[in-house]
Structure 1
Amino acid sequence: MQSPLHFPPKSIRLWAIFCLVFAAAVVSCRKPCEDVGPANIDFLFKLYWQLTSKAPNDTILLSPVGILSNLVTISLGAQSQTQRQILETLQFNLTKLSHDQILRGFWCIQTALNAPGTLPHTKIGSALFTSPSALPPQTFTDRAAYTFGSKIVNMDFLDALKAENEINEYVKDLVFGRIKDASPKLNSHTSSVLVSTSFIEGLWDFPFDASQTAEMDFFVNDRKVIKVPFMYQKGQFLTYRDETVACTLVHKTTKEASGVYFILPDEGKMKQVEEAMSGNLLLRWYDVNVMSNEELYIPKFSLSTIYELEETLPDLGIKDLFTQQADLSGLSKQSGVSISRVSRSCLGIHSNNPHSDAYGS
């Protein structure tokens, strides 16, 4: 008899869930998306490893669209070494890809994510809130609008609380109220705030039966066990067994062309799975699923977290951006401009019986 598929009890972090919507966009568009997709996923795993090294028992949630969109948008206004540090940290080989090719790749991904009917319901937004004295050059505005659909919003930061409320309302509207406090704390010296948001929602092809949900043991860590509701379903699932990586991949489909991928490490193989993760591996997994009969147990969960990345990104290679060495002359006419914070990357994943959604800012 085949064993039921479930989250192994010691999979504290990566037991989580990879919504491969970003990978789906890359695959659906192919070139030039494939020029940037694998490299960006490699960066996200480097960021993931950096975050887990500082908080080894925490659940890590990352929003690829928001993080990457913000950094590449900043690269539009960065010059010389500042721009190079951003792009190389994002794992681009600048001897093979020009900045224009990178931007075309992101335009392709953005277009695929916003195309109706090909992916789960997706709503992507990008806006630069800026004081009139810090308006960026027209070339920056035009390229950001073309690549990411970014808009420029004039903002009076002298009334910092009002500015925070307006930014919060902008984000809340885009993610249907899921995030209420996206804005960092502002002050009268703030000149600009760049915000990227994403909302992804999908209805399961075959919803979980609520009557089958039951409490089971969930291992928070090696020592702490709690009871949580687990959803259950028996049926056919797209799966892939990767003996090299020591994990099983399960694809729970939605009514759209994509869905949710669960990566289930073998017991005790969590670290091996983490170390193997890469953009090319995820894209390979995307194409090799086979249908099989399984029993699937998934915890019913709602997760959210907040990150302050201005201390983490320099460890990965973006060093000048947060110092007076930053060259952002393509973003602002003011001299001595630097980024003070990459603040409050607010993320959430919500999974229940009829649907699953993910959102980030």
Structure 2
Amino acid sequence: MPKLKMAFIFILTYLCFLAPVHQAQLPNASISDLSLKNMDFAMNLYRRISSYHDKNIFFSPLSISTSFTTLLMASDGVTHEEILKGLNLEQLEADDQPELIPKLFKLLHENITQNGSLKLDQGMALFMRQHFEVKKTFEDQMKTFFDADIKAVDFADIERTISFINEYIKDKTEGKVTEMISNLNDAIQLLLVNTIFFQGTWQMPFNPNLTQSAPFYIDNYNIVQVPMMFKEDKFYTMQDVPLGARVLKLPYQEGISMLVLLPNKGTDYTVIDEEISGQKFLNWIKKLQKIKLEVNMPKFKMEQSYSLHKILPDIGMTSIFSVSANLTRLSKDGGLKVSEVLHKAVIEVDETGTTAAAATTVGIIPYSLPRTFTVNRPFFFFIYHEDTNCLLFMGRVIDPTKN
């Protein structure tokens, strides 16, 4: 069994998500369109998180956008428009097909998991106060598009409820995400939880016997020693000359890959922060070429938590967290708003794999590429599904020794 773990959790804490959908013909919008839109949402969100600090970052764009799609179904009016715009999905909404976006998410999930052959578990659950009335249409759509569990809980018994929800999350992430919630406001009526868990084995594992301690240059003044994995083989790589960075693809089994973006020596990663986009990502993938390469890659583990209700207003989602929230497609009960959105992500990268839980054209001359790819300074990484280019996780590693 691979030791690598990647788990993701997303929690909408007070009142939360998703709403209306019916059968309809898909127009020209495809899951590839959805993947590209989700990618740009991911980059925008990354930039917002990045603007708060210069530390490690790790999150699941797919988990976050799936969760907010449920809120899209639950909302109307200005709240609906803000979520649509914040998720970068305006162009995919069709008036005559209110269920189109949730349906695309469902198709995307089916495509990624290949009917179960890939280990990517995504779970959705809605915990609601007893006697709280959810509209039947919304409940049906949660089941149809997200296979969501809807559970009535007694929020008056806070300790028992917290324990029950934490156990649910722990179970859904195979024990990778524990103690997700430590307290709940006693006024809470609804809690939405989205979990995503991925466990991948490298197609070409690193030999643990070749892993040795090596320096990692956080910046000009700070150097840490890290366990550096080594592998010599043929790898797909490319160089983005205008950006000042190199790209390396590390494939897992089952059609998922990690793309490592390594800024050139002397290139400040914060400059690249501003430049990464969905289109650039697709361009990197397109330009990859296979060459013999010596790869040095640090082992690392990360556990990151985000209070998205403090970040998302920066990308225009404000009303859903205020008394003016319009969640009328979720319930007839008025006065509902989303109080908290908690997102937690865990990843571990080692020799066996990962568990986690306008386009610039670039001229590439294969023989001019360096023959070594040494990841010994801050880098970015993206874990994506190759057939759909769907971004499952993305992160930035400034210091691999810090959890």
TM-score range for the pair, normalised by the shorter chain length: 0.7 to 0.9
Q: Does 1:200 align with 2:179?
A: no
Alignment match, 2:60: 63
Alignment match, 2:122: 124
**Aligned AA for 2:205?**
P
C-alpha change, 1:299 and 1:342, in structure 2 (3 Å) is same
Question: Partners in 2 of 1:285 and 1:108 — Cα distance?
Answer: 25
Alignment match, 1:11: none
Alignment match, 2:21: none
Alignment match, 2:224: 226
**Aligned AA for 1:49?**
R
Deviates more, 1:254-263 or 1:73-82: 254-263
Alignment match, 1:79: 76
Question: Partners in 2 of 1:96 and 1:137 — Cα distance?
Answer: 22
Alignment match, 1:12: none
Deviation per CA, 1:219-263: give whole Å up to 9, x if none: 334422111111111111111222233222211112212222111
Alignment match, 1:321: 320
Shift of 1:36: 1.7
| Kept in 2: contact 1:32–1:108 (CA 8 A) | no
| Kept in 2: contact 1:240–1:250 (CA 8 A) | yes
What's the secondary structure of 2:57's corresponding residue? Answer: coil
C-alpha change, 1:96 and 1:194, in structure 2 (3 Å) is closer
Q: Does 1:45 align with 2:34?
A: no
Question: Partners in 2 of 1:130 and 1:244 — Cα distance?
Answer: 51
C-alpha change, 1:255 and 1:290, in structure 2 (3 Å) is same
| Kept in 2: contact 1:42–1:91 (CA 8 A) | yes
What's the secondary structure of 2:332's corresponding residue? Answer: coil
C-alpha change, 1:165 and 1:348, in structure 2 (3 Å) is same
| Kept in 2: contact 1:301–1:352 (CA 8 A) | yes
Alignment match, 2:262: 264
| Kept in 1: contact 2:207–2:231 (CA 8 A) | yes
Deviation per CA, 1:155-210: give whole Å up to 9, x if none: 11111111111111111111110110122521332111100001111111221111
| Kept in 2: contact 1:32–1:104 (CA 8 A) | no
Deviates more, 1:214-223 or 1:39-48: 214-223
Alignment match, 2:12: none
Determine what percentage of the aligned residue pairs are the same residue: 26
| Kept in 2: contact 1:125–1:196 (CA 8 A) | yes
**Aligned AA for 1:334?**
D
What's the secondary structure of 1:208's corresponding residue? Answer: coil
Question: Partners in 1 of 2:221 and 2:188 — Cα distance?
Answer: 45
Alignment match, 2:288: 289
Deviates more, 1:95-104 or 1:210-219: 95-104
TM-score (ref. length: structure 1):
0.86
Shift of 1:117: 6.5
**Aligned AA for 1:138?**
K
Shift of 1:95: 8.0
Q: Please, which of 26, 30, 33 is the counterpart of residue 32 of structure 1?
A: 30
- Superposition pairs for residues 76-155 of structure 1, below 5 Å? 76-94=73-91, 97-98=94-95, 99-116=98-115, 120-155=118-153
Question: Partners in 1 of 2:280 and 2:182 — Cα distance?
Answer: 35
Mind listing any 5+ residue stretches in structure 1 that lack a counterpart?
Answer: 1-17, 20-29
C-alpha change, 1:322 and 1:31, in structure 2 (3 Å) is closer
Q: Which has the higher contact order (CA 8 A, sep 6+)?
A: 2
Deviates more, 1:108-117 or 1:41-50: 108-117
| Kept in 1: contact 2:92–2:101 (CA 8 A) | no
Shift of 1:54: 1.1
Mind listing any 5+ residue stretches in structure 2 that lack a counterpart?
Answer: 1-5, 8-27, 358-391, 394-403
Shift of 1:93: 2.8
Question: Partners in 2 of 1:54 and 1:104 — Cα distance?
Answer: 34
Deviates more, 1:184-193 or 1:152-161: 184-193
Deviates more, 1:244-253 or 1:229-238: 244-253
| Kept in 2: contact 1:213–1:231 (CA 8 A) | yes
**Aligned AA for 1:256?**
E
Shift of 1:94: 4.4
| Kept in 1: contact 2:29–2:92 (CA 8 A) | no
Deviates more, 1:327-336 or 1:81-90: 327-336
Shift of 1:78: 0.6
C-alpha change, 1:330 and 1:236, in structure 2 (3 Å) is same
TM-score (ref. length: structure 2):
0.77
What's the secondary structure of 1:61's corresponding residue? Answer: strand
Question: Partners in 1 of 2:321 and 2:300 — Cα distance?
Answer: 36
Deviates more, 1:280-289 or 1:44-53: 280-289
C-alpha change, 1:172 and 1:206, in structure 2 (3 Å) is same
Deviation per CA, 1:302-325: give whole Å up to 9, x if none: 111111111111111001011111
Shift of 1:135: 3.5
C-alpha change, 1:82 and 1:199, in structure 2 (3 Å) is same
C-alpha change, 1:325 and 1:217, in structure 2 (3 Å) is same
**Aligned AA for 1:92?**
L
CA RMSD of aligned residues (A): 2.3
What's the secondary structure of 2:301's corresponding residue? Answer: strand
| Kept in 2: contact 1:35–1:105 (CA 8 A) | no
Question: Partners in 2 of 1:357 and 1:316 — Cα distance?
Answer: 30
Alignment match, 2:238: 240
